[in-house]
A and B are shown apart, each in its own frame.
Chain A
Amino acid sequence: MDPLALVVLFFFSIGVGVLGAVAGVGGGVLFTPLVLAFTDLDINFVRSTGLALAMMGSAFVVREFIEAGATRLSLMLFISVAVATGSAAGAAVGIAAVMWFGKWGEAVVRVMLGVLIVAVAVVMFFFRPKSPPSAQMGRVARALRLYGVFYDPAARKEVEYGAGRLPQSFVLYSAVGFMSGVFGVGGGWALVPIANLVMGLPLKVAVATSKASFILGDMPGFWVYLNSGYVEPALLAAVMPGVAIGSVVGARIMLRTRARVVRYVVVATMLAAAIQLIARSLPHLLGG
């Protein structure tokens, strides 16, 4: 890769930040498949950068969400513990697949990422938030204080919420953390539906809690990449400021744009990246 490509990556990451903010997805789920599909960068560096990017996006919003009362520290920590449980194992499996099985292992990971991205695009296309069912909080949820009240300015009323179905959601969050570590894609695309549909949290609380949880939940996976020597500071320097700028610009654009149109654009972009990823990797996979 040419050093000038870092400048291109910077502007590309601004676009990722804008699209991600407007469409309500983290940067990693766009960055990782697109860079893997259209550049020759090594897969491990791309995945570690994708994870860092998702966590950076989280670091910039966590303050705002907690200040607005849209999430509680206890709730955020619970989700982070579950995600962290799978994250480090996922990163290790992802690195091991490439290390032990060479080009074939890398092709398997790329094709699986392509399939995952298609699934995410389908979820994004069809997911409709529901009014959460009345919270059936168990003893553990009460003991951990996974409940609260927040003021919804749009509805102009206070909304009470409580987390239900803890065992199921813990398992699902761990699985998302695992995939996050393997593919370096963050996990907002899955965390929000789980928080909303499984735990029964109101959508705004689900979005805020999920986004705020990346910075803690994905960190073990990032440390596995860091300890293995797969974190390149120059890549982070090119991508992180771009995403930070893009997220701020995207948040402003979001207020004036029809979110549905942008969502379709993002879904189409993800599908294009997924198809390219699979098409590029299939010959290696079938060639053995």
Chain B
Amino acid sequence: MIRRERIFTRVIYYASVVSIVVLVVSTAAEAAANPEGFAARIAALSHGGRVALGGLSALGVYIFALSPLAALGVVAAMSIRRRDYPVAVLSLLLLVLILMALLGFVKIAE
């Protein structure tokens, strides 16, 4: 496996592991610190509404959701340097598609 693939897979894998750890620790901490508030939040999941992310748990979600961008960025940069243009083009295309979703290009009007 060449270095580019190794970096790509490791970024994805370790970001997922870290995000799981952060999510579990932050959820347990929130539940222990404010049991009533936590119970109310979980109960609200049955009634719809939206969640405003914040604190450590948001960090866990964003580590997971941003890891493909980091991995694709590395792949695109290394592919351009190696003059492997097919992979560079595909990874940049995918990077743009994910960025469009991230930046809210796909919005639902209320």
Contact = CB atoms under 8 A, between A and B. Distances in A.
Given A81-B97, A99-B108, A226-B61, A40 B13 contact: no
A81 B110 contact: no
Contacts of B57: 233-234, 237
A228 B60 CA distance: 17
Given A56-B16, A73-B75, A227-B104, A42 B47 contact: yes
A233 B42 CA distance: 11
The B interface is mostly helix, strand or loop, or mixed, namely: helix
Nearest to B59: A233
A76 to B, nearest CB: 9
Interface in B42-77: 42-43, 45-53, 57-58, 60-61, 64-65, 67-68, 72, 75
A199 to B, nearest CB: 15
A95 interface: yes
B98 interface: yes
Contacts of A78: 90
Contacts of A99: 108, 110
Given A5-B42, A40-B46, A240-B23, A215 B86 contact: no
B76 to A, nearest CB: 10
Interface in B5-55: 5, 8-10, 12-13, 15-16, 19-20, 23-24, 26-28, 30-31, 35, 38-39, 41-43, 45-53
B43 A1 contact: yes
Contact of A222 (B46, B52, B65, B108): B65
A237 B27 contact: yes
A220 B20 CA distance: 20
Given A60-B13, A233-B27, A145 B86 contact: yes
Contact of A67 (B9, B50, B60): B9
Interface string A221-238: 111101111111111111
A63 B108 contact: no
Nearest to A228: B108
A224 B86 contact: no
A281 to B, nearest CB: 16
Query: For this complex, into which size category does the number of interface residues on chain A fall?
Result: 35 or more
A55 B39 CA distance: 28
A89 B101 CA distance: 9
A144 B86 contact: yes
A234 B45 CA distance: 10
B50 to A, nearest CB: 3
A63 B11 CA distance: 10
A144 B89 CA distance: 9
Counting chain A CB atoms within 10 Å of each CB, the highest count among B10, B47, B93 belongs to: B93
A143 B75 CA distance: 18
B32 to A, nearest CB: 11
Contacts of A62: 9, 12-13
A244 B43 CA distance: 26
B46 A232 contact: no
A211 to B, nearest CB: 13
A236 B60 contact: yes
23 contacts: A1-B43, A3-B38, A6-B42, A40-B46, A59-B13, A62-B9, A63-B9, A63-B13, A73-B5, A74-B87, A77-B91, A81-B97, A89-B106, A92-B108, A219-B98, A220-B101, A222-B65, A227-B101, A227-B102, A231-B53, A232-B51, A233-B60, A237-B27
Interface of A: 1-3, 5-6, 40-42, 44-45, 52, 55-56, 59-60, 62-63, 66-67, 73-74, 77-78, 80-81, 84-85, 87-89, 91-92, 95-96, 99, 143-145, 215-216, 219-224, 226-238, 240-241, 244
